[in-house]
Chains A and B, each alone.
Chain A
Amino acid sequence: MTTHYLVLSALLFAIGGIGVLVRRNAIVVFMCVELMLNACNLAFVTFARQNGNIDGQVIAFFVMIVAAAEVVIGLAIIVTIFRTRRSASVDDASLLKY
């Protein structure tokens, strides 16, 4: 069963990665990042059971905490950018290029 869980986790991670690369809406990109974090958590929990060691679950717990903090800051940044540029597209915030 461990292999199954790990393959599922890899699939979800890859789908999230494709989403980050393909989508242009900053919020959707952010959701895909969350999907990748979730996929990693699944791998942690699976390895915790595989090794009979609960440390993996503790790490998954910490990942969740960091993800929650990251969502708060990330969404605040998106709202701030939207307020000044009236757009949530990742392509529009390219001023640093010039």
Chain B
Amino acid sequence: MGETITFWVLAVVSVSAALGLVFSRKAVYCALMLGVVMLSLAVLYAVQDAPFLAAVQIIVYTGAVMMLFLFVLMLVGVDSSDSLVETIRGQRFWAVVAGLAFAALVALGVGNVVFAPAAGLGAVNAAGNVPSLAELIFTRYVFAFEVTSALLITAALGAMVLAHRERLEQKATQRELSRERFVKYGEEGLDPSPLPGPGTYARANAIDMPALLPDGKISKLSVNRYIARYEAEEGTIDPKVAEILEGEDK
């Protein structure tokens, strides 16, 4: 009974999350939806006498794979949204039709099979799920297991090779950077010194505290414009800051 309830709850959750993965426009939502599907599948494994796989599913999939996905999403740009232009006309429609037809085919095929009552893993798991899995992996499947290590090493090497980028020009030295700054100073009159950080000489060391010049005035360079605009809209802006920024369009 408990298993039936778990199954139906998780089936609804995972199917709707999978639909969300396909249909949500934002890539980060897709990643989170995939995380939901993976977690509910982990629970389904645990229900089906596979506690080791449930743990591995959570650690490898939701832990490692999802984090990789999110990292790459952030690297590649979260807002790289899908184009709505179809390269092949009618592709979306026929893809959905084909997908539904496939689901119907497999579901009807499986639905027509009469299964004997599940044999269950009670006898096999008598010594514990992990020891019995380990026994199989290190006896019958030991060769596949060894090959797996080669695969993982190859994957790690491949990722390093793909991610490596040759530096095409020499890295700018500090001397060159400084020379560049002074050339800019001569040509455009830009201050060669670094910008004053917020909070320098001020009472607190927070980003919304403008730096004070040695004579006690606010350094205009250090005023954070975003915060100032927000505070001006809220009406909580420091009058001194407002005075400095006066005449500047918000």
Contact = CB atoms under 8 A, between A and B. Distances in A.
Interface in B78-126: 80-83, 85, 87, 91-92, 95-96, 98-100, 102-103, 106-107, 110-111, 113, 115, 118-121, 123-125
Q: How large is the interface on A (under 10, 10 to 19, 20 to 34, 35 or more residues)?
A: 35 or more
Given A3-B113, A68-B64, A82 B136 contact: no
Interface string B230-248: 0000000000000000000
Given A21-B91, A38-B61, 17 more contacts: A1-B3, A2-B118, A8-B14, A11-B107, A14-B103, A14-B106, A22-B95, A38-B38, A49-B121, A52-B118, A52-B120, A64-B56, A65-B148, A72-B156, A76-B162, A79-B163, A88-B77
A54 B124 contact: yes
B37 A3 contact: no
Contact of A79 (B61, B76, B92, B102): B76
A32 B95 CA distance: 14
Given A14-B102, A21-B99, A32-B21, A5 B44 contact: yes
Interface in A7-27: 7-8, 10-19, 21-25, 27
A45 B152 CA distance: 23
Interface of A: 1-8, 10-19, 21-25, 27-28, 30-32, 34-35, 38, 41-42, 45-46, 48-55, 57-58, 60-62, 64-73, 75-80, 82-83, 87-89, 91
Nearest to B38: A38
A76 B52 contact: no
Contacts of B99: 14-15, 17-18, 21
A27 B72 contact: yes
B45 interface: yes
A17 B99 CA distance: 6
10 contacts: A3-B111, A5-B48, A22-B91, A22-B96, A31-B21, A31-B30, A61-B53, A67-B61, A71-B68, A91-B85
Contacts of B49: 49
Given A17-B102, A64-B56, A76-B159, A2 B22 contact: no
B107 A10 contact: yes
B15 A45 contact: no
Contacts of B201: none
Interface residues of B, number: 84
Nearest to A87: B80
B144 interface: yes
A71 B156 CA distance: 11
Contacts of B37: 12, 35, 38
Nearest to B18: A15
Given A35-B21, A89-B83, A4 B7 contact: yes
B209 interface: no
Contacts of B111: 3, 7
